[in-house]
Chain A
Amino acid sequence: MAELVTVLSSLCLLLGAFLIFSGGLGVLRFPDFFTRMHAAGVTETMAATLIVVGLMLHSGWGLPLFKLLLILLFVMITGPTASHALAKSGLHGGLRPLGDNTNNERH
């Protein structure tokens, strides 16, 4: 049982690290703001969840587990909200996605 938990925790941590790395690469290499935001937002929340779950499995029962749970809840609530606020602000400030052929000025 203990080995299963350790293996699971290592798996979550490695997967999270891979996702974070790919998200970072996306932010650096994607062509415009909205695509970069997509790379950052998706990987950030997912990878953070995986890493925190991995850490939770790694630690035993106790107060740190509860604090990690709080961090997880917080990241899951604020990550998508921050992406939403960023995208809305970008549109409001006049940025348009690449390949946007419509002439919508009002949102």
Chain B
Amino acid sequence: MITKFRGKKITSMLGILPETVGLFDDEVNNYSFPPKQTMRLKKIMGYDRHRLAKDTSTVSDFAVYGLRYMLENKWIKKEEIGAVITVTLCPDHFVPHISNIVQDKCGLDTDVMCFDIAQGCCGFLVGLMQAFMVLDHTDKKVLLINGDVLSHKVSKKDRNDYPLIGDAATITVLENGGDDEIYYEMHTDGSRGKALIIPAGAFRMPSNPDTGVMADLGDGNFRSLDNMTMDGSEVFNFVQVEVPPMLENAFKREKLTVDDFDWFLFHQPNRFMLQKLAEKAGLPQDKLPMNLVENFGNPSGASIPMTAIFNCRDSLINSENECCLSAFGSGLAWGVVFMNIGKLDYCDLIESDL
């Protein structure tokens, strides 16, 4: 789908991190590979440290923590909020939904529209579209919550996935205003969806004692059917094949070049994949932050706002920025958005005790 929106803007962004830091150096011996081999990946992939939520902490905990921070610090008033949209792969429960829990715990009015969307890597872009559409029907503000605690679903003995996963949430405030046009493009190929999958735990394969059995399925990593598993080669190849032409065609369609953008704020799978993508698409690496995995881990759908907050905070507060946002991964799905982000009212990254 390719479409455009007009007159919508982001006015604040908040990132919420857990306080626990997992160090790659400490985890090397968890994996069934020689430590020397594993350590070589540190620089190449950008593995260094990642944030890990407590076993008892959920996405709603991070969202409530963040929204209370915003309310207490007068970023927003309760009566200004028209909708809460949560995008996550990690629901607290199948029912009720996280947005409803947030509405209750933060004391929002009952006329606030609340709904959740299940999305992973492209969660910010999918959430943006929903927020834009809701804004067509309200003068109030929309809160877009992106968050995941995927460390709970990744085996600590899985070198493919555990070093790069990070837990976090973001809250983005959107509202009507301005006259800027927003370019929006999203693609899906469900036939390749099993490249990134949590096989058990929902209705197709409910969790049971058997699905929790850890085993090496042939690649040297120990995981169970309850754990997330990723075919790294398939995902890498998918990104290299699909994303560069999507970007090139979008630039042509909009008569833009890479020089027209201040920032390329992309999903953060790992440093190697982003470097290869930047090389292939001819993107300037000084405008494309690649450092989220090494500082916090990849927080799935929260990766783009986290990247923006961590790397571009001052720029986003003090000036207008032409941004190219791109996400790619679970689904499989890939997309790109061109939008101006700037002169934000508030932008911050906070640490919770969750």
A and B are interacting partners: no
